[in-house]
């Protein structure tokens, strides 16, 4: 990265990402793993929705990422629109050992495309890949499906911390690309009015300066 450009000429983006999917596929665990670096095998099921924020730098852009984790239970499905409205990206999570949860992803794709159009960045995430033995949904099938609906397919394990960081970075990267390509005609995001006092964690590679001495 250009040392003079870092920090001063970075674009700033505020992105809202929503986690959707069947109950108990690991949405909350993915979010907690990514934001807090934790994994709790006995996580209490999410009631309604919860929210966490993270700042990062991807492709030379400062990103304020707000991640919305929703309750997966069918009962709460009707509340979905409340949370995905205004999202720039959606992570549709399923459990690779549970075929039913993959069906649910298909349903979410339809609903999101209908509600948010082509503007939303869709990622389909197969979680729990650490449980390889009881796997029922193969990578092949899932990635083909993802391709057919214009989504990106990723595999993760929140428990073993496989691919989680990568997933969110890819997602941000895709959202940055999309935002730069077409100046967004979306309204302000759900948290548009908040003050910019949040602590920023810059993940910027320092340009190496120590070469001269040896």
Partner 1 sequence: MASLTETVDSRPPSSCVGGTSLATVAENLPLTYNMATRNLDTAEGGGSEQNTPRAFKRGHIRRSSYESADIQLNFPRRHDPRPSLINRTSFEEALCSLHLAAREERERKEREEAEKAKEELRKEEDCGLSCTSTDTRLTPDSAIGDSVESKRSSLDRKSDLSVGDWEETEADTPSSSTRTRRRIIPSINFAKGLFSRKEGRTSSWNPFSKMKEANGVVHTTSLILEERPSHLPAKSAEEANRHKQMHQEIIVANKRREAKAEKERARQMEEKNRLEEQAMSACRMWNDQILPKWDEMRASKRCRELWWQGVPSSIRGKVWSLAVGNGLNITPELYDCYSKRAEQKLIEYTETKGFDSSEPCGSNGNRENSLAQVHLDVSRTYVCYRPDVGYVQSMSFIAGLLLLQMEPYPAFVAFANIMSRPLQTAFFQLQQPEMTEYFIAFDRYFAQELKELHAHFDEIDVRPDLYLIEWVYTLFAKSLPLDVTCRVWDVFLRDDEEFVFKTALGILRMHEKSLLSADFEGVVSFLTHLPDSLSGSELFRHIEPFMRSYPVNCETARSKKRFFQILSEVKEQFKPVRSESSSTVESSVQSMKMSKSLSSFIGDLLKPSD
- By the criterion CB under 8 A, which residues form the site for partner 1? 23-24, 44-53, 66, 71, 73, 75-82, 85, 95, 190-195, 197-198
How many Cα neighbours within 13 Å face the side chain of 81? 7
> Based on CB atoms, which residue is closest to partner 1, 12 or 147?
12
> Based on CB atoms, which residue is closest to partner 1, 180 or 194?
194
- Work out how close the CB of 208 gets to partner 1 at its nearest, in angstroms, rounded to a whole number: 35
- Work out how close the CB of 16 gets to partner 1 at its nearest, in angstroms, rounded to a whole number: 11
**3-class state of residue 150 by DSSP:** coil
User: 10 Å Cβ neighbour count for 64?
Assistant: 19
- The owner of tokens 């959707």 is 20
> Based on CB atoms, which residue is closest to partner 1, 110 or 180?
110
- Work out how close the CB of 168 gets to partner 1 at its nearest, in angstroms, rounded to a whole number: 17
CB 166 within 8 A of CB 33: no
Alpha helices in the chain (DSSP H): 27-36, 80-84, 99-116, 139-148, 164-181
> Based on CB atoms, which residue is closest to partner 1, 48 or 144?
48
Helix (H) or strand (E) holding 120: none
- Work out how close the CB of 103 gets to partner 1 at its nearest, in angstroms, rounded to a whole number: 16
């Amino acid at each position: 990265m250009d040392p003079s450009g870092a920090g001063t000429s970075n674009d700033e983006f505020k992105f809202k990402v929503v986690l959707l999917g069947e109950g108990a596929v690991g949405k909350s665990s993915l979010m907690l793993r990514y934001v807090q670096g934790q994994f709790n095998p006995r996580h209490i099921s999410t009631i309604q929705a919860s929210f966490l924020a993270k700042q990062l730098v991807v492709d030379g852009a400062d990103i304020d990422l707000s991640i919305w984790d929703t309750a997966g239970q069918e009962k709460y499905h009707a509340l979905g629109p409340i949370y995905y409205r205004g999202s720039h990206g959606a992570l549709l999570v399923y459990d690779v050992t549970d075929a039913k949860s993959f069906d649910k992803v298909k349903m979410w794709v339809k609903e999101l495309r209908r509600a948010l159009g082509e503007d939303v960045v869709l990622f389909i995430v197969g979680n729990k890949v650490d449980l390889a033995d009881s796997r029922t949904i193969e990578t092949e099938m899932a990635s083909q499906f993802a391709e057919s609906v214009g989504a990106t397919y990723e595999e993760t394990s929140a428990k073993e911390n496989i691919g989680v960081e990568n997933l969110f970075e890819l997602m941000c990267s895709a959202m940055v690309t999309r935002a730069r390509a077409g100046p967004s005609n979306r309204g302000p995001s759900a948290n548009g009015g908040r003050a910019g006092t949040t602590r920023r964690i810059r993940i910027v590679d320092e340009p190496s300066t120590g070469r001269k001495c040896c």
